[in-house]
Amino acid sequence: MSERRWPEPMAHDELQLQWDFLDFLRHTAVMKVEGLTRDLAAAAPVPTSPKMTVLGVLKHLIAVERYWLCIAGGGSDLPSLWQGSPDPSWNLSEEDTPSSLIAKYRDEWANAKDALSGRKPDDLSANGDFTVRWIMQHVTQETARHVGHLDFLRELADGEVGE
């Protein structure tokens, strides 16, 4: 079971607060996936969005973290999970299950922390196109948007609602 905590309301360290909000959203995403069968998590209940599945959203979030935090932000030599067009991160394989993708997502959290270790909000990203502050905010907004999708998909899958 994923444990999430609200960030410290009297926070003074900007980068730590950004990490804390991202962690809160990460754990919320995991909570939305935990307990689903593979069939429910792989179902695409919205006819106009055939790749919008619980597992697809989680797999996409793994690719988001890999690219933005690890590669663009920290300069890691990890392979991008977005190679191809259209974006292949939404595609599922038979090996993709709730537990396997949750484990990969958590692994990516560690990769991201390592990649950005020692960097400050005003530091430039490894690719030189953004500040670390911008990348953290971008990944947080992307994660929050997709947690909203997971809320909706989870309710459609098994009726579970709540934060």
Q: How far apart are the first and last CA of the chain?
A: 14
Tell me what pLDDT residue 84 has: 81
Could you state, in order of their start, the residue ranges of all structural domains in the chain? 14-158
DSSP, collapsed to helix, strand or coil, labels residue 2 as coil
DSSP, collapsed to helix, strand or coil, labels residue 118 as coil
CATH 1.20.120.450 fits domain 14-158: yes
Tell me what pLDDT residue 82 has: 84
CA proximity to 18, closest of 28, 4, 8: 8
Tell me what pLDDT residue 1 has: 62
Q: At what angle do helices 132-158 and 54-64 cross, to 10 degrees?
A: 170
**pLDDT in single tens digits along all 163 residues of the chain:** 668 888 788 888 899 999 999 999 999 999 999 999 999 999 999 999 999 999 999 999 999 999 999 999 999 999 999 888 888 999 999 999 999 999 999 999 999 999 999 999 999 999 999 999 999 999 999 999 999 999 999 999 999 898 7
Rounded CA separation 63/78 (Å):
11
